[in-house]
Structure 1
Amino acid sequence: MGSLRAVLLSEPDQKVVAVLPRAYVHHFLRENPSKRELLLISERLDQRYRHQILIREEGPVTVEQVNGWLDTLESQGFFETLREEYGLE
């Protein structure tokens, strides 16, 4: 991501701010733990997203089917794995 690169490549006396998705920062730091000390990361959220699924009436799948699939994924720990891997809440 260009914004993070700008922060990391800036001169020490420059003040550079970048707004990045928390999941991206979490993933970047897992891959580059030595860079953590170079960054000041705010705990303040800029945005919060609520994702939804749209299902077409008379479509090939029903709301009940999709909810069943989501329940299965949740009970198998799939979403928890994603939350941990990407630092999601």
Structure 2
Amino acid sequence: MPTIVAKKAGTCTAARCGGRILQGEFVEYSAATGTRHLVCASAEQGSRLNLRAGRCRCGAQVAPREGSLVLKETTLGTSFQKKWLVLCLRCA
């Protein structure tokens, strides 16, 4: 993962961290795992935190900060799409 300087404050996406990332802090970033502290870069892959309400694939309504997100990547012809899917606690 490349090391970048965070342009905005956010949350670390490592499985056991979830700590605050400050603007201007050096972080590791990739599209699949998100932004992580430098010390959390080698941590196990956790799912991203669901910050918005959504609907799971089973039809259950998922409240903010509950459930998890999974990145789905698809290729349609020459176009490449990424979409975050919400999973409830039962489906995760």
Q: TM-score, normalised by structure 2?
A: 0.20
Whichever of the two has the greater Rg, that structure is 1
* Structure with greater helix share of residues: 1
Tell me which of the two structures has the higher relative contact order, counting C-alpha pairs closer than 8 angstroms and 6 or more residues apart. 1
- Give the TM-score taking structure 1 as reference length: 0.21
